[in-house]
Amino acid sequence: MNSHGLGVTRCGNMEFRWGERTYIMGVLNLTPDSFSGDGLGRNIEAAVVQARRVVEEGADILDIGGESTRPESSPVAADEELRRVIPVIERLAGELSVPLSIDTYRSEVARRAVTAGVMMINDVWGLRRNPELAQVAAEAGVPLVIVANQREKTYGEIVPEVIDSLREGMKLAQDAGVAWENIIIDPGIGFGKTLDGNLELMRRLGELRALGRPILLGTSRKSMIGLVLDLPPDQRLEGTAATVALGIANGADMVRVHDVMPMVRVSRMTDAIVRGRAK
C-alpha cells in the first residue's frame, strides 16, 4: 500500500500508484455536439491525430466518448455510439503507449469497446442507468469509474448525497465482482448539481476520502467555470486550472481534462507542493 492506503490499480500496461502523483486523463470526444467545442464526430483520422497529440502532451490515459453528456444533449442510439467509437478504439489500441478508457453507460458499448482494446470503463451514471456495466468490468478485469450523477434526482445537502450515491455504486460494483482496487470514484461536477452545489463539492472534496478509493475529478471547461467567470467553453482554461490545483490539494488523484499540456504543468506544480514531489 502507498501513503494514501489506496493501493495500485492496474490498467493495461499502466500502473496507477495512487498518492505518488496526480494522473492526467485526456479527453477524446467523438461527438458532433460536444459542449466543449472539441467534438470530432466520425472523423477517424482527425481523432487519431488528436489522440497522438494528447499523449505527447502528457496524458496518462485517454477517455473516449461517443455521446455528449451536456445536460440538454439528446441521446444517441447504441449502434451510432458504436459506429463512432469502435473504429477509433481499434486504431488507437495498437498505436498508443497509454491505456484507453470508454466513456459510456451502455453495457453493450462497453463490452465491444473492451474487446476492441479499452482498459477502463467510465460510467457517468454511476451504474444507475445500467448496472450490467459492472459485470462487463468484472469479467474483463478492468477499472470502473463510478460517477455521482444527480440528474433526474432532487437533493438537499450535496456532499452527503454524493457520498451516498458513490457508496451505492461501489456496492453494486463489488457485488458484481469488480475488484476493490479497480473502483475509482468521481463526484460528478456538473452532473445535476447547482452552481452552489458544485462549488461546495469542490470545497469539501476531501470528505470523499472516507470512501477509501481514488478520486477522479472532471471540471475541465464545465459550466460551473462559465457561470463564475461569464466565459464560453473555449475561454475557461484559467478557471479549469484553478479547479485542478484546488482539486488536487483537496484529494483528487486523477483529473480529466481537455487542455492536457497546461494541466500537466498545473498538476506537476501542485504535486510539488501538496505531495512533496518536485520531479
Residue 169 has which C-alpha cell? 455504486
Long-range contacts of 237-246 (CB under 8 A, 24+ apart): 237/262, 241/266, 243/189, 243/202, 243/217, 243/219, 244/217, 244/219, 244/220, 244/270, 245/269, 245/270, 246/202
Q: How many CA atoms lie within 13 A of 91 on its CB side?
A: 16
Pairing between β-strand 144-147 and β-strand 216-217 as defined by DSSP bridges: unpaired
Query: Do 260 and 267 touch, CB atoms closer than 8 A?
Result: no
C-alpha cell of 122? Answer: 467510465
Q: Is 222 a catalytic residue?
A: yes
- The answer to whether residue 204 is catalytic is no
Q: Give dist(CA 3, CA 130) in Å, integer.
A: 34
Can you name the residues that pair with 15 across neighbouring β-strands? 10
Candidates 153, 256, 265, 268; catalytic one:
256
* Residues 64, 85 contacting (CB under 8 angstroms): yes
- Of 151, 222, 268, 277, which is the active-site residue? 222
Alpha-carbon span 112 to 84, nearest angstrom: 12
C-alpha cell belonging to residue 77: 442510439
Count of other CB atoms within 10 angstroms of residue 258: 21
> Which residues are catalytic, by number?
222, 256
